[in-house]
Amino acid sequence: MPPDPLSNTQPIASLGHPLQEFHLRRAWLVRWGNLILAFTCLAGAAAVLTFGSFQGYLYYYRFGPAIVWKTVEIPMILVVMLLVIGLLEARVAYVNWKRGATLYENGFTYQDQRGIQVWRWNEIRYFRYIIYRNYAAFLFTGNTHQCVLSKNGRKALVLNDDLEMVGQLASAIREKVFPRLYTQFKDQFQAGKRLEFGPLTISLAGGIGYHKKAYCLEMLESIGTYKGLLQLTLRNKNKRETIRLHTSNLPNLDILLAILADIKSDNFTGQARLQPA
C-alpha cells in the first residue's frame, strides 16, 4: 500500500524552500495516452471474447464439440494478446502517474506510485552522473543523461531523461553532494584506508588494485573516459599497460576521477596532496 503523502510533510519541511520542479517528459502522452490505449485494448479483449464465445456456442450446437476449438482458437489468441498489451500499458500509466522531482535548498524529493522519497544532501553516499552521446549511422543524435544515487550503497534511485531537464537536476545534485563526498574520500585516502570503487581499489600503501594485481601510484600515466569506458594507462619503465573498465560498474565515478587526477598531477612523491578540483 503506497505511503500516505501527508506522513512526509515534516521531512519535506526540513528540506527548506522549494527551488524548482522537474516534471515527467511528455506527461500527457505517457499518462493519458497509455491509459486510453490500455482501456482500448481491454475493451477490445472483452469484445473479442464475447464474439468468440457466441460464435463457439453457435458452432457447438450446429456441428458438435469437435469443431468448437478451431472456431474459437484465433479469437482466444487475440484476447490474450490484447489483455497482455492492455495490462502492460495500464502499468506504464500507473507507474508514471505521479512521477516527478522537486529541488529544495537542503535536498530533493522524488515521487512515484510508491509515494514521496526524501533525499537530503548529507544522506547521499553514492553518486554517479553520466552523459551518453548517441549516434545513428555515424550521425550525432543527441545526449542522454543518467544520474544514480544511493543512501546505503544498495537501493539506488535512477534519474534519467524521463524527467524534463534532468541534466539540470543532476548538476544541482552534484554541486551539493560532490564536495562533501570528495572530502570524505580524500580524508580516508590520506589516512591510509583503501578506497573501493567497484572492481578498482586505491590506497597509499597498496597503490591501484585491479583483478588481484597491484600497481604503484607512480605508474599512473594517463586517465580518460570514452564511450562509457574508463581507461587508465600505467607505465613501468618502458612497459605500458592499459586498464579499461565500464563506468557503469564504478560507484562514485566523479570522486574516483578527481582522486586519480590529483595523484597524477602530484606524481605521488610519497604523500599525495589532494585538493578539491
Q: Are residues 109 and 15 in the same domain?
A: yes
Q: Are residues 13 and 148 in the same domain?
A: yes
- Rounded distance, CA 171 to CA 176, Å? 9
Is residue 185 a part of any domain in this protein?
Answer: no
Is residue 275 a part of any domain in this protein?
Answer: no
**From first to last of its 277 residues, what are the pLDDT tens digits of the chain?**
444 443 444 577 788 888 999 998 887 778 888 889 999 999 999 998 888 888 887 877 777 777 777 777 888 889 999 999 999 998 888 888 888 999 999 999 999 888 888 999 988 988 888 887 778 877 888 888 888 888 876 678 889 888 989 889 999 999 999 999 999 898 898 888 999 888 898 988 888 888 888 888 888 888 888 777 888 888 877 788 888 888 878 888 888 888 888 887 763 433 444 333 3
Q: Are residues 20 and 35 in the same domain?
A: no
Counting the structural domains of the chain, the total is: 3
pLDDT at 1: 41
Please write the tens of the pLDDT for every residue from 90-113: 888 888 888 899 999 999 999 988
Q: Are residues 12 and 37 in the same domain?
A: no
- What's the whole-model pTM score? 0.70
Q: Are residues 16 and 36 in the same domain?
A: no
How is residue 241 written as a grid cell? 599497460
User: Which domain, by its residues, includes 249?
Assistant: 192-266
Q: Are residues 140 and 201 in the same domain?
A: no
DSSP labels, 157-199: EEEETTBTTHHHHHHHHHHHHHHHHHHHHHHHHHTTPPEEETT
pLDDT at 81: 94
Domain boundary among 56, 78, 96: 96
Cα torsion for 39, 41, 46, 50, to the nearest 10°?
140
Question: Strands 115-120, 126-136: parallel, antiparallel or unpaired by DSSP?
Answer: unpaired
Is residue 216 a part of any domain in this protein?
Answer: yes
Q: Are residues 201 and 226 in the same domain?
A: yes
- Rounded distance, CA 110 to CA 130, Å? 19
CATH number where 159 lies:
2.30.29.30
Domain boundary among 38, 69, 96: 96
Is residue 277 a part of any domain in this protein?
Answer: no
